[in-house]
Amino acid sequence: MDQYDLTDSNIPTLSRILKGSIVTSFYCTHHKKWVNHDYKIAGYKDHGYQYELTLQHLDTNSKKHLYEGSKIKIRRPLVKGITSNDIVLRGCGGGGGGR
């Protein structure tokens, strides 16, 4: 699990790099506590004077908007691994042949 402190300078970069990653919790600066819910990083918005990181709730269409000073904990998405179906064996195709 990775934790990131949001700043106006890193929100656009984090949004691009981590888009689609699952946020498992975020620090609510208003209530001064961690909120444990699963959200997906959906993007960001530039308000001209500050950036906003947009999180999409996984179960509903509700969104959370986080600003500088917030913290997020994320679980990176799994990268598809190679399975036996993905491997093409060269020189081992078909049966038969031989002398």
The full set of domain ranges for the chain reads 2-77
pLDDT value, residue 47 = 93
Name, in order, each residue with C-beta under 8 angstroms of 25's C-beta and a sequence gap of 6 or more: 34, 35, 36, 37, 72, 73
Q: CA triplet 41, 18, 39: central angle to 5 degrees? A: 25
Tens place of pLDDT per residue across the chain (99 aa): 899 999 999 999 999 999 999 999 999 888 899 999 899 999 999 999 999 999 999 888 899 999 999 999 998 655 555 454 444 444 444 455 555
Please give the CATH number for the structural domain made up of 2-77. 2.30.30
